[in-house]
Amino acid sequence: MGFLRDVFSEKSLSYLMKIHEKLHHYERQSPTPVLHSAAGLVEDVIEELQTAPVNNEEKELLQLLSTPHLRAMLVVHDTVAQKNFDPALPPLPDNFDDDFDEESVKIVRLVKNKEPLGATIRRDEHTGAVVVARIMRGGAADRSG
């Protein structure tokens, strides 16, 4: 229990939960990308510019599109557009109890040494404190006392 108390009393966990809530709110409002593969489109444009005679403006465009910074930015754009940034997490247990109000509980998976700790936390809406909502029997948190 001492480990969990230390984790939940960390100010950074509270900040992370606030960030998660802000991102979740923004995700519902965010615009959808027009193209999910901008880097591929730029590759096609570069190929076209390299195979045809080019004027000064086209030559400048070719140089700009070939810079490593712009290419890295396009790769990041495509990663975000494809929502390809979520880590692979182990599945939730079959006996997961869903009796909490969806708006007041966020599921956070704490994993140590590839083993889930088996605790559900929530943020108190009045105080903003992070509290343990429940501890799963048999999980690492339960076994630690």
Find the mean pLDDT for residues 81-99: 67
Does 137 lie in the same domain as 69? Answer: no
Find the mean pLDDT for residues 55-76: 93
Cβ 104 vs Cβ 128: under 8 Å: no
Does 97 lie in the same domain as 138? Answer: yes
pLDDT at 39: 93
Confidence (pTM): 0.40
Q: What is the pLDDT of residues 4-55, one digit of tens each?
A: 777 777 788 888 888 888 888 877 776 678 888 999 999 999 999 998 888 9
Does 65 lie in the same domain as 108? Answer: no
Does 136 lie in the same domain as 91? Answer: yes
Residue 97 pLDDT > 70: no
Q: Helix, strand, or coil here: 87?
A: coil
Positive or negative CA dihedral for 34, 38, 42, 48? negative
72: containing domain: 38-81
Find the mean pLDDT for residues 64-85: 88
Does 54 lie in the same domain as 18? Answer: no
Does 68 lie in the same domain as 98? Answer: no
